């Protein structure tokens, strides 16, 4: 049990009623898992306002409430504290509650529109290969050394995040590599964490259903680097046009990596095909099974981080040469007849362009590329027509289908994807709402030299329709249909 006054250290609050010296057993901002002697944070959200659940939290055992709006009727047995921002207060309190775990290991955060997952996976595997104890926080899963834990969000909420970091410290982890999403930055989930390195991969249109404009989205990413400490390092993709603007106000040391121009860390692609990449980094040659120019950037970012963490460059190169792609990130399947299938998570216009651009080096896309694509429901509608146009312009055949329609009509989503196509392009577009049927159709249309690209869901194991998640694994389905 911990004293409330210690948990709220460095939080500006006004004590409305009760005592700040009471003992607290746990902290929560959802009522679903609240325990007795708990501290409850009432947080205004996108869909729900935590202030509406204060009375329920009390009935379930909460003995203290942190809120932005004080209830009219106060419970005489409960302590109420008013703050200006309860999400920020939750993050600081979570760090305090778990004894500031981010200060007890090296914390590296990777942010950007694309490449976050692949980069943290490369780093996790690299440092594991170098015999360090390592933590991973990612879209796909969380890991504490070899122990795998489920992941619900790209970046967990502040309580879970600090709990994870605390478990990593207890397990002896020396490093943690984590994805930092724009939602997490804006919602203060990473507030009060002590990052040693921040990595910027790239920036393009995404999540505008939440951030509303690209400028606001960029400013949120910028906030992450603005808040890095003076002794930290910002490792930046110099080739991205947004790179300078994102880090122009950071106090941390700026370190740049590039494939196109002189930088602190420079690499050149010597060979790129379906067998992988051959790169030259500094004076080292690196051969890897990872495919595509975008993976060259991820590899170079991981190399830069490792070198900045004082690892020997020759050992880093050796470890990176053995790396495998993260689940659902440009995973390939090949048949004995020469047909290739690629499964990827790409769900933004820029990610799609990068994937198709890489494939264009292996085949003539207008003759050989068959693309199966859907767009997520209840997400940025503006990118649907853009993604539909990209696929239809560069594919031999395009098959528009469902992704995770969530609570939207999947046919309406497909119509949005079709909205900017002329009649000539539409002739090569097939609309098949059922995703399994769409993938099956793609396989049947494929010839010897065809490349089937299935994008949007990547590593996901379920499909969400009207709030119900049913098993659906693109990789397994493609493997089954190709009889691999």
| Domain stops at, among 277, 303, 321 | 321
Confidence of residue 210 (pLDDT cuts 50, 70, 90): low
- 47 vs 282, residue with greater confidence: 282
Query: If you average pLDDT over every residue of the chain, what do you get?
Result: 93
Q: 3-state DSSP: the chain helix, strand, coil percent, rounded to 5?
A: 35, 25, 40
294 and 370 housed in the same domain: no
pLDDT at 209: 54
pLDDT at 212: 60
Structurally, the chain folds into a number of domains equal to 3
List pLDDT tens digits, range 89-118.
999 999 999 999 999 999 999 999 889 999
Report the CATH number that the domain containing residue 459 is assigned in CATH: 3.90.190.20
Burial class (CB in 10 A: 0-12, 13-18, 19+), 230: exposed
List pLDDT tens digits, range 157-167.
999 999 999 99
pLDDT at 219: 86
285 and 309 housed in the same domain: yes
Q: Which residue has the tokens 């890897």?
A: 288
Which residues lie below 8 Å from residue 123, measured CB to CB, with a gap of 6+?
108, 110, 175, 177, 302, 305, 306
Average pLDDT over residues 435-444: 97
List pLDDT tens digits, range 225-263.
999 999 999 999 999 988 888 899 999 999 999 999 999
pLDDT at 183: 86
Count, residues in the chain: 484
| Domain stops at, among 276, 291, 321 | 321
End-to-end CA distance of the chain: 55
Confidence of residue 211 (pLDDT cuts 50, 70, 90): very low
Say if residue 150's pLDDT is above 90: no
Average pLDDT over residues 469-473: 96
Average pLDDT over residues 308-320: 97
pLDDT at 179: 96
> What is the residue range of 373's domain?
331-482
List pLDDT tens digits, range 79-91.
999 999 999 999 9
| Domain stops at, among 303, 321, 339 | 321
pLDDT at 217: 82
List pLDDT tens digits, range 408-433.
999 999 999 999 999 888 988 999 99
- 182 vs 286, residue with greater confidence: 286
128 and 276 housed in the same domain: yes
Report the CATH number that the domain containing residue 276 is assigned in CATH: 3.40.1190.10
Say if residue 223's pLDDT is above 80: yes
């Amino acid at each position: 049990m911990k004293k409330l006054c210690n948990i709220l250290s460095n939080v500006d609050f006004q004590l409305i009623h009760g005592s700040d010296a009471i003992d607290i057993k746990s902290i929560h901002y959802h009522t679903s898992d609240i325990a007795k002697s708990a501290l409850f944070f009432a947080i205004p959200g996108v869909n729900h306002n935590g202030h509406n659940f204060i009375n329920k939290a009390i009935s379930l055992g909460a003995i203290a409430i942190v809120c932005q709006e004080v209830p009219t009727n106060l419970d005489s047995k409960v302590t109420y504290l008013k703050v200006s921002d309860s999400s920020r207060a939750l993050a600081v309190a979570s760090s305090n509650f778990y004894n500031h775990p981010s200060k007890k290991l090296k914390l590296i955060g990777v942010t950007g529109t694309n490449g976050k997952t692949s980069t943290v996976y490369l780093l996790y595997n690299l440092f594991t290969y170098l015999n360090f104890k390592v933590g991973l926080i990612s879209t796909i899963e969380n890991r504490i050394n070899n122990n795998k834990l489920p992941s619900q969000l790209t970046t967990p909420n502040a309580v879970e995040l600090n709990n994870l970091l605390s478990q990593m410290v207890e397990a002896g982890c020396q490093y943690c590599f984590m994805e930092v999403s724009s939602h997490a930055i804006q919602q203060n989930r990473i507030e009060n964490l002590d990052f040693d390195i921040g990595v910027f991969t790239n920036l393009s249109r995404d999540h505008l259903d939440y951030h509303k404009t690209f400028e606001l989205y960029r400013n949120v990413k910028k906030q992450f680097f603005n808040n890095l400490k003076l002794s930290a390092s910002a490792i930046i993709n110099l080739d991205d046009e947004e790179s300078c603007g994102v880090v122009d106000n950071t106090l941390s040391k700026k370190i740049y990596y590039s494939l196109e121009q002189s930088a602190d860390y420079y690499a050149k692609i010597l060979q790129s095909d379906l067998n992988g990449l051959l790169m030259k980094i500094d004076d080292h040659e690196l051969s890897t099974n990872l495919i595509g120019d975008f993976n060259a950037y991820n590899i170079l970012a991981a190399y830069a981080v490792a070198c900045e963490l004082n690892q020997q460059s020759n050992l880093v190169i050796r470890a990176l040469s053995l790396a495998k792609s993260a689940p659902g990130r440009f995973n390939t399947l090949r048949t004995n007849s020469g047909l290739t299938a690629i499964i990827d998570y790409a769900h933004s216009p820029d990610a799609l362009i990068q994937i198709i651009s890489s494939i264009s080096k292996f085949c003539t896309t207008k003759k050989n590329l068959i693309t199966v694509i859907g767009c997520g429901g209840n997400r940025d509608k503006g990118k649907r027509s853009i993604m539909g146009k990209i696929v239809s312009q560069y594919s031999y055949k395009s098959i528009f289908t469902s992704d995770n329609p969530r609570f939207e009509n999947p046919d309406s989503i497909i119509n949005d994807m079709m909205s900017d196509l002329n009649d000539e392009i539409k002739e090569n577009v097939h609309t098949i709402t059922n995703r399994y049927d769409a993938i099956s159709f793609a396989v049947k249309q494929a010839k010897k030299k065809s490349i089937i690209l299935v994008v949007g869901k990547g590593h996901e194991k379920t499909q969400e329709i009207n709030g119900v998640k049913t098993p659906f694994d693109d990789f397994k389905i493609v493997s089954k249909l190709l009889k691999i």
